[in-house]
Amino acid sequence: MISNSVTRYLPPPGPPDAAHDDETARGTGAGHRDPRPGIIRAGAKPAVLVAGVVTGYVLIRGRADGNIGPWGIVEALPWPYLFLLVLPAIVFFHELQRGMRRVVLSLALAAQVITIYGSVAFSESMPRFATAWLHAGFTTQILQTGETATGMDARFSWPGFFAAAGVFSEAVGLEPLSLLRWAPMCFALLFLAPLALLFRALHGSARVRWTGLWVFTVANWVGQDYFAPQAFAFFLHLAGLSVVTAVFLGGARSVTRSRPVGRIRAMLTLPADVNPEGAAVTYGQRSFLIVLLVIVSAAVAMSHQLTPFMLAMTLCLLALTGVLRIALLPLATVIITVGWLCYGAQDYWNGHMSAIFGSAGQVSSVVSSGVGSRIVGSTVHQAIVNLRIAFAGVMWLLAAAGLIHLLRSRKYGLILGIIAGAPFLMLGLQAYGGEGMLRVYLFSLPATALLAAHACASLAARARPVAAVVAVAGLLVLPVSLVARYGNESYEHVSAQEGAAVAALYDIAPYGSTLVCLSPNLSWRNIGLSQYDYAQAVLDQFAVHRVDLAIAAMGTNPKGAYLIVTRGQIAYGEEVYGLPADWGRSVQRDIVGSRRFTTVFHNDDATVYRLEPVKEARR
Amino acid sequence: MKPGWTVGTAAGLAVWAAIALVWASLAGADPGGSPARVIGVGIPLLAGPGLGFVLLLNIADPLLGFVIAVSLGCATLVVGAQISLYSGHWSPPAVIASQLVCTVLIAAAASVRGAIMKRRREAGSVAG
């Protein structure tokens, strides 16, 4: 059942691994030029990092409203902030070359996360992103009613995160909406701990491991780390996977290099010098950790649709290849995942079998829905989407190079390959609403980041000029990452005026009335989720000047219908639909010209209209 | 991990969780959130039970301990909230209380275990 004897072999005499340069060398002083640095010298880098973060905060606080353009948040940031963005990376890589002090490296990584995520958290006056607002609404709904409205939204079939967030918000006395601003930064910081554990279990070089953490932070542009079940479940997924790899990964029982099978087994076996801490865990602790992993699996299964399958697939692959010798663990994960699908999510799959399994086997359609269908809209929007695709492509290329290098060096690359490759199996199962490719990128990123870091470190170790090119490329990638990450900010951010308009709408509209928006990117529904009738977005009708169709879509609710038009929705039409720049004014003209609407609230960024009954319009 | 260190940390955690329990009970659903309340109540709520188990099991690796503490704490909060939700007795205060009481009990057990181990070690060194 529980194997305490982890078979390991001595590392083979392959080509120089971009440094089996351990932190133990630092511990013994081998990595230090000056073993006893003075207080000023020791504190200089942390002081620079703290000063950089504080300066950045002061520099961009509240600056986003009115300054964000089609390229997203970078247009609202002053150029000194771009230097402050690069500063933690400079400190990080300088320390990586010279000192290898964990405290400084950790601080630099934290500062990198804060400067990246702070670019929106510090500069925007309201919490961003429509889906995050909706999740705050789900949390409020559960908090107030103690019930899940599975008929309203499929996500209520996996309410674990929303229920826990509700309990947390009540414990700390904050409205769920207040948690939105800092959630992405907190999640990004939290991801680093399990990633560090995972990397420690899979790579012998401390330098590569630290670089891998930085690569993950910068390359994680997919934006799934907001106030959402997937961010929470992804953290638990990383935690579960890291504990499994750090403690339970064994390897082939007999390692012989003379035959192909033996060579493959050798590649699936951890070398003796990798992760010695994992082997030090006692039998009793391992038993407890299995219970822990089952509880974590249960929490993941209750919180998100996709993540439990990713966890189960990865663990099953590790078990099937003989790397993970506890079959109980993947089995338990599968049983829990399927069990929750059958029990908790019954309301969902009863009517949505085709949505769940309809795209099984259709890999090309899943890829095209996740990639090709997204290259639409304005020229700038298409350029940003292409940039994201190129970013992902470069990451996968680097990861492939790192994997090949590890395999040719006869090192343990195959385990990393399995962890990186497992999420791709999802392409054959689910389109996930056209987001399948994004999720595959995210879930493969931990392993691909480490493999890419290995490739970069191997390249940099060849010659000084190559190292300089790698370093410059690393620094340049930061602003590029900011464009890839926050390139949609023109329509995803919420200005103070838009926030005020949404609040006014809820004040004006009576319960039971119909609320309509132009496009689906409006940040609302954070309250009154079940008290209002939210109709479909009507951008399609307005885009072709068919106000009559929009009015028909608003229905004939006796309690009234309200239409809200905001700056972000107009920007959405321009960027995603490729509508002309003056289409916002055209919409306003159409609305006023129809003589069916009365303006009930107006400010610079938003207008709320009430649809008047037909009789009144005739008068 | 040294037994003396475990005793002190576990006792500190038990006291922190007890204070958080009283704080959360007195505040109730009062929306007067503050950074102090986020740290004072939020951290033991999210990481308390996990950290208690890390100390109880004497897991020496700090990185592994941190990952277990946070992930187990969050997971138990989800499971507790789900039980409350699906049992038809939705009560956030009850979930908060159960999470913090568990933390107090586990941390107290870890502290007692650490004290016993410390005494045994001292007795062993005296005998030796």
- pTM attached to this predicted model: 0.90
Only one residue has tokens 């967030």, namely A165
Cα–Cα distance between A351 and A345 in angstroms, integer?
11
Q: In the prediction, which pLDDT does A481 show?
A: 93
Q: Min CA distance, A521 vs chain B (Å)?
A: 28
Residue closest to A244 by CA, chosen among B6, B71, B1, B52: B71
Span A373-424, pLDDT tens digits = 677 788 899 999 999 999 999 999 999 999 999 888 766 678 888 899 988 8
- Who among A235, A292, A303 is closest to B72 (CB)? A292
- pLDDT over threshold 80, residue A177: yes
The percent of residues above 70 in pLDDT, for chain B, comes to 93
CB A195 within 8 A of CB A2: no
Say if the Cβ atoms of B64 and A174 lie within 8 Å: no
Q: Beta strand pairing status for A561-566 and A533-534?
A: unpaired
CB within 8 Å of A330: residues ≥ 6 apart: A312, A315, A316, A318, A319, A324
B62 interface with A at CB cutoff 8 Å: no
Give B90's contacts in chain A (Cβ within 8 Å): 142, 145-147
- Kindly indicate the confidence band of residue A323, based on its pLDDT and cuts at 50, 70 and 90: confident
HEC per residue, chain B: CCHHHHHHHHHHHHHHHHHHHHHHHHHCCCCCCCHHHHHHHHHHHHHHHHHHHHHHCCCCCHHHHHHHHHHHHHHHHHHHHHHHHHCCCCCHHHHHHHHHHHHHHHHHHHHHHHHHHHHHHHHHHHHC
All structural domains of chain A with their residue ranges: 23-129+180-489, 495-618
Cα–Cα distance between B63 and B50 in angstroms, integer?
13
Span A52-80, pLDDT tens digits = 999 999 999 988 888 898 999 999 999 99
CB within 8 Å of A35: residues ≥ 6 apart: A29
B36 interface with A at CB cutoff 8 Å: no
Q: Min CA distance, B29 vs chain A (Å)?
A: 6
Q: What is the token pair recorded at A203?
A: 């790579």
Say if the Cβ atoms of B30 and A197 lie within 8 Å: no
Q: In the prediction, which pLDDT does A24 show?
A: 45
For CA atoms A234, A239, A242, A247, give the dihedral sign.
negative
B85 interface with A at CB cutoff 8 Å: yes
B61 interface with A at CB cutoff 8 Å: yes
B87 interface with A at CB cutoff 8 Å: no
| SS3 call for A93 | helix
Q: Min CA distance, B3 vs chain A (Å)?
A: 16
**How many CB atoms within 10 Å of residue B120?**
11
Cα–Cα distance between A280 and A156 in angstroms, integer?
42
Q: In the prediction, which pLDDT does A499 show?
A: 94
The percent of residues above 90 in pLDDT, for chain A, comes to 47
Say if the Cβ atoms of A295 and B45 lie within 8 Å: no
Nearest-by-CA chain B residue for A161:
B78
Per the prediction, chain A carries an average pLDDT of 83
Test the B interface: residue of A140, A143, A148, A167 with most B CBs within 10 Å: A167
Q: Min CA distance, A344 vs chain B (Å)?
A: 9
Q: In the prediction, which pLDDT does A252 show?
A: 41
Q: In the prediction, which pLDDT does A431 show?
A: 61
Give B41's contacts in chain A (Cβ within 8 Å): 171-172
Q: Min CA distance, B128 vs chain A (Å)?
A: 25
CB within 8 Å of A234: residues ≥ 6 apart: A187, A191, A224, A225, A307, A442, A443
CB A238 within 8 A of CB A191: yes
Nearest-by-CA chain B residue for A143:
B92
CA distances from A560 to A10, A319, A616 (A): 75, 59, 13
Q: Min CA distance, B122 vs chain A (Å)?
A: 23
Say if the Cβ atoms of A164 and B84 lie within 8 Å: no
- Kindly indicate the confidence band of residue A507, based on its pLDDT and cuts at 50, 70 and 90: very high
Q: In the prediction, which pLDDT does A555 show?
A: 74
Q: Min CA distance, B79 vs chain A (Å)?
A: 6
Q: What is A495-618's CATH number, 1.10.10, 3.40.50, 3.90.550, 3.10.450?
A: 3.40.50
Q: What is the token pair recorded at A26?
A: 């630092």
Residues 104-123 of B with CB under 8 A from A: none
The percent of residues above 70 in pLDDT, for chain A, comes to 82
B63 interface with A at CB cutoff 8 Å: yes
Query: How many inter-chain contacts (A to B, CB under 8 Å) are there?
Result: 139
Only one residue has tokens 């989720």, namely A529
Q: Min CA distance, A117 vs chain B (Å)?
A: 19
Say if the Cβ atoms of B68 and A289 lie within 8 Å: yes
Give B91's contacts in chain A (Cβ within 8 Å): 146
- Who among A147, A302, A344 is closest to B78 (CB)? A302
Q: Which domain holds residue B89?
A: 3-127
Give A141's contacts in chain B (Cβ within 8 Å): none
Q: Which of A280-289, A432-441, A529-538, A572-581 shows the lowest mean pLDDT across its residues? A: A432-441
Domains: count for chain B? 1
- pLDDT over threshold 70, residue A266: no
Span A86-99, pLDDT tens digits = 999 999 999 988 87
Per the prediction, chain B carries an average pLDDT of 89
User: What ipTM, to 2 d.p.?
Assistant: 0.93
Q: In the prediction, which pLDDT does A378 show?
A: 86
DSSP track, A253-275: SS--SSSHHHHHHHHTS-BTTS-
Give B80's contacts in chain A (Cβ within 8 Å): 167
Half-sphere exposure (Cβ direction) of A288: Cα atoms closer than 13 Å: 18
Q: Min CA distance, B17 vs chain A (Å)?
A: 13
- Kindly indicate the confidence band of residue B3, based on its pLDDT and cuts at 50, 70 and 90: low
Give A142's contacts in chain B (Cβ within 8 Å): 85, 90
Q: Which of A18-27, A120-129, A586-595 shows the lowest mean pLDDT across its residues? A: A18-27
Span B19-63, pLDDT tens digits = 999 998 888 767 777 889 999 999 999 999 999 999 998 888 899
B32 interface with A at CB cutoff 8 Å: yes
Say if the Cβ atoms of B77 and A289 lie within 8 Å: no
Q: Beta strand pairing status for A514-517 and A533-534?
A: parallel
- pLDDT over threshold 60, residue A592: yes
Test the A interface: residue of B16, B78, B101 with most A CBs within 10 Å: B78
H helix intervals, A359-412: 363-370, 379-408
Say if the Cβ atoms of B61 and A174 lie within 8 Å: no
